[in-house]
Structure formats: C-alpha cells, structure tokens
Amino acid sequence: MGLWDVEQVLGLAPDAASAKAGQGLARVEKWTEAGASDRAVWGLCQGSGKQPYQTAVDLSGPAYKCSCPSRKFPCKHALGLLLLNAAGEVRPADEVDWVKTWMDQRAARADQPERKPGEVADPIAAQQRASRRADRVSSGMAELKGWLDDQVRVGLGGFDQRAYTELSRLAARMVDAQAPGVAGAVRRAAGVVGRGHGWPGELLEELSLVHLIVSAHDRLADLPPSLADTVLSRIGWSTETARVLAEGEKVRDDWLVLGRVIEPDDRLTVRRVWLRGATTGRLGLILTFAAAGRPLDPLPARPGEYVPGTLSFYPGALPMRALLTQTDPRQPAPRPAGLTARQALASYVESLAADPWNERWPLVLQDVRPAAHGEGWALVDADGDGLELLPGWDAWKLLAVSAGDPITVAGEWNRAGLRPMTCWRDDRPVIL
Amino acid sequence: MKGWDGLVSSALLGTDRRPAHFEELPEHIQERLGDGGLLDAAALATVYKRAGRKPLRELEPIPAAPGEDRPLPRPVATRRLAAMLGGFQTSALGEWLRAADARGWGVPPEHLPALADYARHRAEYRPLVIAAAGRRARWLADLNPEWRYLHAAVAESNDPEYWTHGNAVQRRTWLRTLRQQDPHAAREALAEVWPTESAATRADFLGLLTDGLSLQDEDFLESALDDRSREVRRSAARLLARIPGSKYGERMTERLHSHLVPSQGVLAVDLPKRLSQSMERDGIDSQNPEGIGKRAWWFLQIVANTPLSAMELAWLQTPVEGCAPDILQAGWTEAAIREGSAEWARALLQSEASTGDRSPAELLRLLPADEWARAVDVLRKTVDVTELVGGLPVPWPESLASMILDQLAKVGSNRAWARLASIAARAVPPDVLDHPITRESTGEEDTWRRRLVETLTFRREMYEELS
C-alpha cells in the first residue's frame, strides 16, 4: 500500500479517543529524526517519560512498532506518524538501524511462507498431511451419515429433549474430523430445535442439506470439478490464498461496492463486502476476519463507490468469494441499476441451482418503497411485489431516507429476509 | 408444498413406524429422486421450496411525506454532524442545527433517527430537530410512537381538530401557536374548556398565556386566582403581576403605600403584622424561607410584585428605617427581573445592591448586550466573573467575548479558570472564533486551555463548512 490518505489512517484507529490523540500528534514539532523509506515510516516522539518513544510503521501491512506502553493498537504515536506522513510532512530518508533491523526481520518472516504460488515446501509431507485429512473427513462423513440415517429411522419426535446436546456433540466430532463447514451446518440445525411451531420442518430442511453434503462427498469423483470444489468448501476445506491468486478465475472491472455486513462474534468478527462489476455485472464477495475487538482492515472503498481492480475468484460452481487486487484509486459511482422483487428472487434461484447450499445473495432492488409487514417492514417495487426485511433489523434510517418515495436498495438476502446494506436516493449512497 | 408435511411426519415418527411416501411430492422431485430415501427427498423438496418462493403481495406502501427537501450542505459538514452524533463535541450539535437551518440547509435524512432519539429527552433540541426533519417530522412521528413529539411541527396547521381531539403535545402546540397569532382567541379557547381540564393541564396551559399577555387577559386571570388548585392560583398571580395597569398592580401599590412612606429623606417601613386574605389571594406566600422573618418576607413579596412605575429610582440611595435595606433591594431586584427593566437593573448593579436569592447575572442580562462587557469589567471586582457571565444568554456580544478570551489568554493554564473557559468555549460568537488564543501553543497536556482551543477551532470549522 502506498501513501495512505488521512481517512484511511483514521480508519485504522481502534477508537475515537485514539484517532483524536493521533491527530494531536500529527504535527512536525512533535517528532524528531522522522523519516520515510518506500516501505516504512518512523520517528521519535517525546512522551511523558525521559526517553522519546521509538515509533515505526511497516507500510505494506500496515504493521506497527512502538516503544510506548499503550495497549491500544495501533497506538496514538503510530497514528500520528501515519497522519503526518499522509500530509506529506515526513521526508524521505535512509532507514536508521533500529528500523532497518525490524523491517528486515519482518521481511524474512514474510518471505518464508511466501513461496511461489502452488509450490510447497516439502511436497511429500504435504501430500501425506492432505491424505491424512482426507481420511479423517471421510470417516467423519461416514459417522454423520450413519447418525442421520438412525435419526430418520427412529424419528426426530423425541428429539427436543436430547437434540441440542447430541447435535452439539456431533458438531464437535465434525471439528475433530477436520470438517468445520459441516460442523457449522450441524450447529445451525441444533439451533432450530424447539424454536417455534414449525421447528420439525425447519430441522428436516437443515438435516436434509447436511445429508446432501454427505452424499455429495460420497460421489465426489463423479461430480463436475467446480461442483466438487463447492462441496469441499462446504465441508470446510479452505483454498490457500496463494492458489486463488495464481489459479483462480480473474475478472477485471470497476467494482461497485454494494455494501457490507459486519457480524461481531465472541471470538471473531466477520465482514462481508459485496461487489458488482460495472461492465461485467459479476458479483463478488470479499470476506475479512479479525479477532474480536480488533479493527478490520480498511474498506477498499466506501459503499456506493467503484474500486477498479481484479477479482480472483475462489473455485466452485457458484464463484462468489474472491480476493481483490486494487489497481487504481477508488472513485465515485452513480446509483446502480437494480431489479424488481420478482427478478431479484429469480437471481437467487439461479444461485441455488448452482449451489443448493447457498444461504446469502446480494440483491439490488430498484424503485422500492417501504411498507409495514406484520411486526416488521417490507420493500415493495413498482409492480406491487414485495420482499420482507430481516426481522429485528433496525429500519429507521432506511425509512427516514425514503420518506415513502421510491429508492434503490442493495442488501444481503437470506431466507429470513433482506438485510439492507446501502440505499440510494437520487445519486447519493447512504450506508445503512 | 404438496407432500412436504408427509415427509416431516415420517421424519418425526421415524421411518420404522411410518415409512415415507413420495407419491404426493411434485413430479419434478419424484423424477429426480430415483431410489433415494427420505433425506434425499427432503433435500430435493427443500431446494424446490426455496427456489419456488414468491414475492409478497397486497402490501400497502406507506404514503410519501408531502413537501420538498432542502438542499444538503457540503459532505464535510454532514460528516461533522455524524461525528457529533457519534459522541464527538456533541454539545455543539444544537449550534450546528441552528446554523444549518439559518442558511437554508437540510439534514441528510439518515441522521434523523439518531437526532430524534437524541432530542427525545432533551426538550431544548426538539424545535431544532423538527426544523431539520422538515417534511419527514410528521411522517416519522406517525410511524414511531417514541418520536411523537415531532408532531409539534404539524399542529402549526391550526386545525382545531388538534385542540379537540389531539394528544397532550398536539393540544399544547396548537394553543401556543394560536396564542402567538391571536392571543384573544387562544384565551377564549382555553376559557371554554377550563372547567373540565385537570389541575395539571390547567396550570400548564395557563403558563402559555405568558406570550402576548395583556390587560385583556385580566378578567380571566382574576377568576383563576380563586381556582381550586394552588398551582393554578400561583401561576395566575405571577401572570397578573406582569400586566401593566392591572387591578392586581393597583392592589399591590396600595399595600406598598400602607407599609412604606417616604418622608423627610428616609423610607419609613412598617412591616405588615398579618397576612390578609386578599394578600393570600394575590399569591403572597405565607411561609417564610430560612434566613428571613415572616413579616419581612411578606413585605419583600409586596415590593417584588408592585409595578416599578409606582416606585422611584432615587429610593435606591435613600436611607431606610424599619427594616434592613437588603429586604427592599431584594424586592426591587425581583421587580426589575419581572418587568425586565434595564433601567432598574443598571441602577441596582451600580449601587451594588443586594440581589437576594437572585444572581447579579440575572440583572446583568437585562442590560442591552453592548453594555455587558463594561458592566462585567466593573462588577468583577466584587462578583465572581464566572458567575456573572455564566448566566448570560449565548452567543455573547463580540465585545464581551473578546474581553474574556483576552483575559484567558493571559492566565496560563491555572486551574481556577477552567470553568470560565468551558463556558466561554460555547458562548463566543462566530465572529470571534478566530481569536489569537486559538493560534497559541497549548502544550501536550490535557488542560482547560487545550480543550478551549479545540472547541473554538471545532466551531470555527463548523461555520466555515456551513457557509
């Protein structure tokens, strides 16, 4: 990453206080011996102690190093330094020793895993690992198949008593079997039990789709390769980033950021950024993870903007998840064209035809107006067709923007309803 | 879907007891099922159902809010608004809204929910939020009961429906609006429903007559002096005391003359010995507060409610007999505040009179704003300057603001000045925000000086962005 602009730097701050303190330190007189190379920026900042703090930032990460005792990450010194650098007030210089040492260490560490795409350090050991895992997964799948068949034979009726513990135990077994994707599906099934009147039907839906994975795994070799990839990723095999970058399908376009959904969890924050190509119309999903409480990487662009670049798609029958290589700075975009409710549902059905396990799908609805629907809300298009909003989603911003007039809404669709991410009134995008 | 319930009940009871039948399932599923079992059929049916989902029908879109939207200020200005709603320099929010409104800017609608929530428990922000919400005020209030106060905007339409059938907020707004336009009609409307309203409502609505108060209201207010509710009686007395030429004023003047006689260069005071029924009816409080005797307290209230026109400024310099001069001075202070008399306020401040329970700042604010700086400069020798300026309406006149900032620039970071600095940070008018103090170094420490400069700078940028 080259020169960071001020907004991107502020996006790195762990909280508002740090951002503010960082801005206070973004002044030339606060720093001595500051300098910047093409990969790092550094300087000394006098704090309350006797010794000034040594602060350095690796611009490629960014990664931070600072001798201050702050537990904030990045600390205000690193932010101040980056802001100063963003303002063009740090002069180019040769790296001083302590910076050079640190940067070289980092480079050495980074070099190790960064082999040529597809190349493996010890091919034989890697193959052994892979085949051990395949064996484990296969035996896990067999166990799951047996369990599912048993349940159907004796009936799910008495299930609500023992179901939760049993499904949780099974989910843990699937983690042991190195099939975390299936483990997640089983856990979702466990979550349905006893919830509402229709839970037996819901449970059967969830279990039947788990069964579908298991039986697809049985005939993996017979499946078309892209579908086999989908099955493997649903089971929980991950594809290495390097392989995606090297072998994945590449699409170059101006990618409109349709919006993002952030799901905080106890341990892991997940962010889904949905993209749509301006020329190709292709859809893409960028997944980002961060440990709970840690900031996520800055967005490549704000929702409603274009980010020019190349997407490298993960393999699968429904190529959606991708890695983004940005080629040019982000730029403003007009309001996107959208679909009617009926067309939107049809696009989701197409995705199901390719990947029957697909849960989420980005939709752009055009000329929709809010309507009350039960306890919640729905969006109605010009034909009078409507889609419900995700129950419990706070719709007030969207309602206020619309004021009853037709707007364009980009959202993430799942069976429970649409979770709006961005809406447009005229050409102005509003992040929801 | 046909056949799905059969699958569910087989799964519930177990295929041992109830073997699954697939004949009822749609043909497409049966074709693909082959020799598959219950779970295969269920998987096909699940995807079939999900793919067959239809859009909702017969939904009634919410009718659009009628009216036009104002243009939006520059993005940098709305980002500042978002930052304030996010907790950064939030106390400048009202100022932002006022400045934007004055310049004809609207507020990006996505911020309205946060603003509406913010103003829900802060009544002083409500008119600002109502103005900012524009055509959306009523629309949102109809959708969200928690924002019902936004209805205040609506009642301006003068529809008597709001008075006869509205909720408490709507009725109050209707009456207040009418009072501003036609004081006579508002009083008549109130008089009509008067006997059937609750005591709390009577007292509340009576207070609305403060606007446009005149001698025409006298008969109604006189009758309210005999109200069942003590709160209403009090309120009526307070209002009568503010009507020049009222019978109430005459009664008070008469009482004053029977207890105070200027003769031979002294004011001879004879404190009342008892509280008559008519005095009580006129709102004289029988119960003396701590630190003052009963009779002195009654006399003080008589002075406080006597029209200033019945008294003479020269009395301020006249020796007093029969009671402490403080009592009279406190009474005059009350009377000056009640009548808003700059003349009396100036005289009381110049003679360093006792102001009783009142702060000298309350007299200070009665002076024309361009006299404040000079008056503060004189008074600060005896009264804490923070107390003086703390009660003044903001923004301050430029002369006062510059004087205070000049002063603060000279005192380093001594903690004793922190409160004055925090008042000044909000009270300095837009034209003085560029004061030299904002360009002096504040040091690394988090001092009042740094916070002052930050706030002044923040506000200056805010006005620049909205221009």
Q: CB of A209 within 8 Å of any CB in chain B?
A: yes
b or e along B42-62 (b: 16 or more beta carbons within 10 Å of the residue's beta carbon)?
Answer: bbbbbbbebbeeebbeebebb
**Quick one: pLDDT at residue B294?**
93
**Quick one: pLDDT at residue B158?**
63
A&B contacts, CB < 8 Å: 144
What is the least distance, in Å, from the CA of B57 to any CA of chain A? 5
pLDDT tens per residue across span B6-26: 999 999 888 888 888 898 999
Share of chain A above pLDDT 70, in %: 94
- Sign of the Cα pseudo-torsion (B88, B94, B98, B99, in order): negative
Strand partners, B261: B268
pLDDT at position B445 over 80: no
Chain B residues closer than 8 Å to A407 by CB: none
**Quick one: pLDDT at residue A265?**
73
Q: Which residues contact A65 (CB under 8 A, 6 or more apart)?
A: A54, A55, A56, A57, A58, A102
**Quick one: pLDDT at residue A167?**
77
Q: Considering only residues 148 to 187 of chain A, which have any Cβ-Cβ distance to chain B shorter than 8 Å? A: 148-149, 152-157
* Confidence bin at A111 (pLDDT 50/70/90): low
- Which CATH number is A248-332's, of 3.40.50, 1.20.120, 3.10.530, 2.40.50? 2.40.50
Comparing A187 with B159, which gets the higher pLDDT? Answer: A187
Which of A6, A48, A148, A152 should one mutate to test binding to chain B, selecting the residue with the greatest count of B CBs within 10 A?
A152
Q: Which residues contact B298 (CB under 8 A, 6 or more apart)?
A: B271, B272, B275, B279, B284, B286
What is the least distance, in Å, from the CA of B155 to any CA of chain A? 20
If you measure CA to CA, which chain A residue comes closest to B68?
A: A403
| Cβ proximity of A88 and A36 under 8 Å | no
Q: Can you read off the two tokens belonging to residue B6?
A: 């059969």
* Confidence bin at B263 (pLDDT 50/70/90): confident
Chain B residues closer than 8 Å to A397 by CB: 110, 113
- B62 and A404 in contact by Cβ < 8 A? yes
How many other CB atoms are found less than 10 A from the CB of residue B163? 21
Structural Rg of chain B based on CA atoms: 34
Q: CB of A353 within 8 Å of any CB in chain B?
A: yes
Q: How far is CA B343 from CA A128, A278, B300, B353, B367, in A?
A: 99, 73, 20, 14, 8
b or e along A258-273 (b: 16 or more beta carbons within 10 Å of the residue's beta carbon)?
Answer: bbbbeeeeeeebebbb
**Quick one: pLDDT at residue A104?**
84
Burial class for B393, CB neighbours closer than 10 Å (0-12, 13-18, 19+): exposed
Strand partners, B152: none
Cross-chain CB nearest to A400 (options B13, B60, B113): B113
Q: Which amino acid would we find at residue A381?
A: D
Q: Which residues contact A218 (CB under 8 A, 6 or more apart)?
A: A141, A145
User: In the predicted model, what is the mean pLDDT of residues B118-129?
Assistant: 85
CATH class, domain A341-431, is mainly beta
| Cβ proximity of B222 and B240 under 8 Å | yes
Sheet arrangement for strand A417-425: A386-388, A376-380, A361-373, A407-414, A417-425, A428-431
**Quick one: pLDDT at residue B462?**
93
pLDDT tens per residue across span A357-412: 998 999 999 999 999 999 999 999 999 999 999 999 999 999 999 999 999 999 99
pLDDT at position A209 over 80: yes
**Quick one: pLDDT at residue A121?**
60
* Confidence bin at B155 (pLDDT 50/70/90): very low
**Quick one: pLDDT at residue A118?**
52
Rounded CA-CA distance B145/B120 in Å is 11
Q: How far is CA A29 from CA A25, A45, A414, in A?
A: 9, 9, 53
**Quick one: pLDDT at residue A1?**
40
Rounded CA-CA distance B6/B12 in Å is 10
Chain A residues closer than 8 Å to B14 by CB: 152-157
* Confidence bin at A134 (pLDDT 50/70/90): confident
Q: CB of A215 within 8 Å of any CB in chain B?
A: yes
Cross-chain CB nearest to A153 (options B16, B65, B139): B16
* Confidence bin at A213 (pLDDT 50/70/90): very high
* Confidence bin at A83 (pLDDT 50/70/90): confident
Domain borders along chain B are: 4-51, 75-240, 266-367, 398-466
What is the least distance, in Å, from the CA of A172 to any CA of chain B? 22
> Residue A139: what are its φ and ψ, rounded to 5°?
-70, -35
Rounded CA-CA distance B299/B258 in Å is 11
- A353 and B51 in contact by Cβ < 8 A? yes
Q: Can you read off the two tokens belonging to residue A105?
A: 């260490």
Which of A396, A425, A430 should one mutate to test binding to chain B, selecting the residue with the greatest count of B CBs within 10 A?
A396
- B56 and A388 in contact by Cβ < 8 A? yes
- A397 and B110 in contact by Cβ < 8 A? yes
Comparing A18 with B375, which gets the higher pLDDT? Answer: B375
Chain A residues closer than 8 Å to B45 by CB: 208
Cross-chain CB nearest to B13 (options A155, A403, A431): A155
Q: CB of B16 within 8 Å of any CB in chain A?
A: yes
Q: CB of B410 within 8 Å of any CB in chain A?
A: no
> Residue B381: what are its φ and ψ, rounded to 5°?
-65, -30
pLDDT tens per residue across span B286-343: 999 988 999 999 999 999 999 999 999 999 999 999 999 999 999 999 999 999 999 9
Query: Using alpha carbons only, what angle is made at residue A375 by residues A370 and A381, rounded to the nearest 5 degrees?
Result: 25
**Quick one: pLDDT at residue A296?**
85
Residue located via tokens 């005192």: B411
Q: Can you read off the two tokens belonging to residue A217?
A: 């795994």
Out of A38-42, B247-251, B276-280, least confident range: A38-42
Rounded CA-CA distance A233/A235 in Å is 5
* Confidence bin at B456 (pLDDT 50/70/90): very high
Q: Is the previous residue joined to B113 through a cis bond, with omega within 30 degrees of 0? A: no
User: In the predicted model, what is the mean pLDDT of residues B368-374?
Assistant: 92
**Quick one: pLDDT at residue A159?**
65
User: In the predicted model, what is the mean pLDDT of residues B129-139?
Assistant: 89
> Residue A396: what are its φ and ψ, rounded to 5°?
-65, -40
Chain B residues closer than 8 Å to A207 by CB: 39, 42
| Cβ proximity of B388 and B420 under 8 Å | no
Strand partners, A339: A365
Q: Can you read off the two tokens belonging to residue A200?
A: 């037996």
Q: Can you read off the two tokens belonging to residue B197?
A: 């309203």
- B11 and A369 in contact by Cβ < 8 A? no
Is the ipTM here above 0.85?
Answer: no
If you measure CA to CA, which chain A residue comes closest to B6?
A: A201
Cross-chain CB nearest to A154 (options B16, B37, B86): B16
Sheet arrangement for strand A40-45: A31-36, A40-45, A53-58, A63-66
pLDDT tens per residue across span A136-189: 888 888 888 988 898 888 888 766 666 677 777 888 888 888 888 888 888 888
Residue A345, SS3 per DSSP: helix
Q: Which residues contact A211 (CB under 8 A, 6 or more apart)?
A: A145, A148, B39, B40, B42, B43
pLDDT at position A2 over 50: no
- B56 and A212 in contact by Cβ < 8 A? no
Rounded CA-CA distance B78/B80 in Å is 5
Query: Using alpha carbons only, what angle is made at residue B218 by residues B216 and B224, rounded to the nearest 5 degrees?
Result: 135
Q: Considering only residues 142 to 201 of chain B, which have any Cβ-Cβ distance to chain A shorter than 8 Å? A: 143-144
Residue length of chain A = 432
Q: Considering only residues 38 to 57 of chain B, which have any Cβ-Cβ distance to chain A shorter than 8 Å? A: 38-40, 42-43, 45-47, 49-51, 53-57
Rounded CA-CA distance A416/B255 in Å is 78
State the average pLDDT for chain B: 90
Query: Using alpha carbons only, what angle is made at residue A281 by residues A276 and A287, rounded to the nearest 5 degrees?
Result: 30
If you measure CA to CA, which chain A residue comes closest to B139?
A: A403
Q: Considering only residues 79 to 108 of chain B, which have any Cβ-Cβ distance to chain A shorter than 8 Å? A: 86-88, 108
Chain A residues closer than 8 Å to B136 by CB: 400, 403
- A157 and B38 in contact by Cβ < 8 A? no
Which of these, B111, B116, B126, lies nearest to B79 by C-alpha position? B111
User: In the predicted model, what is the mean pLDDT of residues A28-46?
Assistant: 87
The DSSP-derived string for B96-108 is HHHHHHHTT----
Q: Can you read off the two tokens belonging to residue A274?
A: 């949905």
Which of these, B56, B232, B5, lies nearest to A344 by C-alpha position? B56
If you measure CA to CA, which chain A residue comes closest to B117?
A: A396
Which of these, A346, A370, A282, lies nearest to A318 by C-alpha position? A282
pLDDT tens per residue across span A278-316: 999 999 999 998 887 788 888 889 999 999 999 999 999
What is the least distance, in Å, from the CA of A271 to any CA of chain B? 21
Q: CB of B139 within 8 Å of any CB in chain A?
A: yes
List % helix, strand, coil for chain B (3-state, nearest 5): 65, 5, 35
**Quick one: pLDDT at residue A162?**
66
pLDDT tens per residue across span A350-361: 999 999 999 899
If you measure CA to CA, which chain A residue comes closest to B65?
A: A403
**Quick one: pLDDT at residue B412?**
79
Rounded CA-CA distance B416/B448 in Å is 10
Burial class for B294, CB neighbours closer than 10 Å (0-12, 13-18, 19+): middle
pLDDT at position B449 over 90: no
Chain B residues closer than 8 Å to A387 by CB: 55-56
- A397 and B143 in contact by Cβ < 8 A? no
- B87 and A16 in contact by Cβ < 8 A? yes
| Cβ proximity of B106 and A426 under 8 Å | no
Rounded CA-CA distance A139/A251 in Å is 38
If you measure CA to CA, which chain B residue comes closest to A376?
A: B143
Q: Can you read off the two tokens belonging to residue B359?
A: 């702060």
pLDDT at position A197 over 50: yes
**Quick one: pLDDT at residue B302?**
95
Cross-chain CB nearest to A371 (options B54, B62, B65): B62
Helices A159-176 and A199-218: angle between axes, nearest 10 degrees: 30
Q: Which amino acid would we find at residue A372?
A: A
**Quick one: pLDDT at residue A120?**
56
Provide long-range contacts, Cβ within 8 A and 24+ apart, for B27-33.
Answer: B29/B3
Alpha helix ranges (H) inside A13-96: 16-24, 76-86
- A400 and B112 in contact by Cβ < 8 A? yes
Which of these, A158, A39, A293, A207, lies nearest to B45 by C-alpha position? A207
Comparing A14 with B56, which gets the higher pLDDT? Answer: B56
Burial class for A419, CB neighbours closer than 10 Å (0-12, 13-18, 19+): middle
State the average pLDDT for chain A: 87
Rounded CA-CA distance B334/B300 in Å is 9
Which of A399, A413, A414 should one mutate to test binding to chain B, selecting the residue with the greatest count of B CBs within 10 A?
A399
| Cβ proximity of B206 and B224 under 8 Å | yes
> Residue A54: what are its φ and ψ, rounded to 5°?
-95, 120
pLDDT at position A117 over 60: no
**Quick one: pLDDT at residue B271?**
94
